[in-house]
Chains A and B, each alone.
Chain A
Amino acid sequence: MGCAMGNLYDKNSLKEIKGSLEKWQNDILPKWLQQVPEREKEFTNLSNIQIKNLYTPLDIEDFDYNTKLGFPGTYPFTRGIHATMYRARLWTMRMFSGFGGPEETNNRLKFLIEHGETGLSLAFDYPTLIGIDPDDPMAEGEVGIVGVSVPSIEDMRIVFDGINMGEVTTNMTINPPAPVLLSFYVGVAEMQGVPYNKIGGTTQNDPLKEFIAQKSYVFPPEPAVRVSMDLIEWSVKNLPKWNPISVSGYHIREAGSTAVQELAFTIADGIEYVRQLISRGLDVDEFAPRISFFWDSHINFFEEIAKFRAARRMWAKIMKEWFHAKKERSMWMRFHTQTAGVSLTAQQPWNNIIRTAIEAMAAVLGGTQSLHTNSFDEPFRVPSEFAAKIALRTQQIIAYESGIADTIDPLAGSYYVEWLTDQIEEQAWKYIDKIEKLGGMLEAVKKGFPQREVTEASYNYQKQVDEKKKYIVGVNIFEENEVDEIRNVPLLEFDQAEIEKRQKARISKIKSERNKELWERSLNELRKAAEGDVNLMPYILQAAKAKATLGEIMNTLKEVFGSYVEPPIY
């Protein structure tokens, strides 16, 4: 079409390139193919997008530099949200950790702080993730395995014993019980004398993806969204340094979605939350700068880089054009990335170090703000210190040795990467249109739409692996019989039963020693608040301070909101 100011190619050059491309396709290539045919009938990425043999300026012929890319730190932020990117400050190497009881995790955090880490990231155990206490029958055998058990304000006090909460920031990967864990955190910070404006960190607090993928849901979708929005609203007004939500594609991808679905469903979740908050009367520029995102970085290198770049461009456009944000910060898609847990294999586990390195490179080339690299032993168990150290060193090698971080968005202008970025964006918009037609993501989730799409995609992928249309080294190609090698992987060992016993004992001690009257009143007031439509955060904070346990607070809310039971679709 018309030659806008920022167009990369003029019509005459394109015509010339077209001529020479056709000549190559007709005269040169066929001779080669006759002698050496292509390896596969078709090449596709993990989103099943067909990849051509070669990309040229003709694949991005209308490419307008200024509209599509702009500059780092300028709209639409395709090249990065900061003008300086990694030349000024590297991404945060934020390694997610936690296991056992609060004592074990307190030791681990102190160890990390001694080694210069200020960005802490807490992994919780399953009982904490779904809001039940260690003495709940459902918690039996699960306490402290996949993360730390924090069922009360007292447990949180122990996690941060001897750590100044005004000097660290803490990421908490927690969803339905996020308001409760944040209340424990704020309550302990208050005990330490830390003012609200010094309390920094993140709660994942993304309820919709729980129904789509992570499945640690507790309440049905509508109250789940309400509770989450209460946290955001309260946090925006009270904790200026807190990131109240991390809209997460990670779990959607791990549950088997394609890259396009991960992108589309996560942005659609974000759109739903922005609408919810605006409908509460909040100004978009008041809360949008506090929204952050969380992506998976999977094994198809260029596909992931394109996804990250498309994500920034889409979110900026949505915030500016749909929601009329004025602050640039409101348009920034700030994000954390984790390499793909599902891409790791139990077979030849050492190969996982290489997979993680490739995925981490894609995240850095995609402009992530922080990164967690998985450990090679994670197909088996929570990582050992040895494995976690290699994972961290992988990031350091990328940062300090490889030169990848020395110039901003180095793959911009690659015919392939720009074409792929456009393709992924275009396909993601189609999904977003569909979700909009269903009435937004909350409605789409209630109708089971994204759930079905993810289930279908994960089955298709597995079939492709079984049929060797997609390869996994050590699994369906270059397999080895290597039982001894796997047996020799040193795994993290700890006495789970002992930790469970200790956690149960502490909960029963808390219950017997607390002020019964204060405790009972706080839960009654919480119940009444939940029956109405006020913000629940002050009531949850009050209950947490009155030593109500995680399970008690969640049960009080469940009595009002009910518990979600998923229809078993497969």
Chain B
Amino acid sequence: MLSPQFTKSEQFKVLVAKLGIDGHDRGAKVIARALKDAGFEVIYTGIRQTPQQIVSSALQEDVDVIGVSILSGAHIHHMKVLMEELKNAGASDIPVVIGGTIPLIDVDELKKIGVREVFLPGESLKRIVEIIRKLAEEKRRLESRG
């Protein structure tokens, strides 16, 4: 058996997911495309995903980062469930970021439940890609340590 860092591709892998039932997929698709152009392998889930579906895709695809997009205003509720499901699946090591129509006042609460980064409307693609790259690198580093 090879250790995980050798079986894994060098390319970082990101799951871009639309959590909940809103159909606004413009942002998710733009981010997916920007990540792909920046050399990431991207799995885009499409719309109307449940937390359970996202966790199972993340595990199955062995992703380095989960990027969630929500524009329905239901982000606190859905993210609590998602973070809980990740924990139950023993996958809390996968960093989760979120973007969408999120009021600044909700950022602290999202970070408190373990969301690593909250991207508010108007964020530049460059910064989003950089942060996701940093989180992916960090995850790989922790993995290789053991």
Contacts and interface: CB of A to CB of B under 8 A. Distances in A.
Interface stretch (B5-13, B87-95, B100-108, B132-140): B100-108
A329 to B, nearest CB: 33
Contact of A126 (B28, B29, B72, B126): B72
A130 B21 contact: yes
Interface in A539-570: 565-570
A216 B20 CA distance: 12
Nearest to A458: B26
B46 interface: yes
Given A138-B48, A345-B122, A570-B44, A455 B23 contact: no
Contacts of B26: 254-256, 342, 458
A140 B19 CA distance: 12
Nearest to B105: A487
A142 B29 contact: no
B116 interface: no
A417 B73 CA distance: 39
A493 to B, nearest CB: 10
B29 A570 contact: yes
Contact of B46 (A345, A486, A568): A568
B50 A138 contact: yes
A491 B47 contact: no
B120 interface: yes
B47 A379 contact: no
Interface string A446-477: 00000000010011001101100000101110
Nearest to B29: A570
B131 interface: no
A90 interface: no
B122 A346 contact: yes
B122 A141 contact: no
B24 A380 contact: no
Interface string A365-380: 0000000000000111
A462 B30 contact: yes
A217 B22 CA distance: 11
A145 interface: yes
Contact of B21 (A127, A347, A463, A566): A127
Given A381-B101, A491-B105, A142 B21 contact: yes
A568 B45 contact: yes
Contacts of A567: 46
A300 interface: no
A483 B28 CA distance: 25
Contact of A476 (B104, B120, B124): B124
A255 B27 CA distance: 9
B34 A381 contact: no
A215 interface: yes
Most buried by B among A455, A462, A472: A462
B57 to A, nearest CB: 11
A7 interface: no
Interface string B23-62: 1111011101110100000101111101000000000000
A382 interface: yes
Interface in A16-33: none
B121 interface: yes
A42 to B, nearest CB: 22
Contact of B22 (A126, A378, A379, A570): A126
10 contacts: A126-B72, A141-B20, A146-B22, A215-B24, A215-B25, A216-B23, A458-B26, A458-B29, A568-B45, A570-B36
Give the 5 A-B residue pairs with the shortest CB-CB distance, closest first: A215-B23, A141-B77, A568-B46, A570-B29, A380-B103
Given A458-B26, A475-B122, 13 more contacts: A126-B20, A126-B21, A215-B47, A345-B121, A346-B104, A346-B120, A455-B29, A458-B30, A459-B33, A476-B124, A566-B47, A567-B46, A570-B36
Interface of B: 16, 20-26, 28-30, 32-34, 36, 42, 44-48, 50, 72-74, 77-78, 81, 101-105, 120-122, 124-126
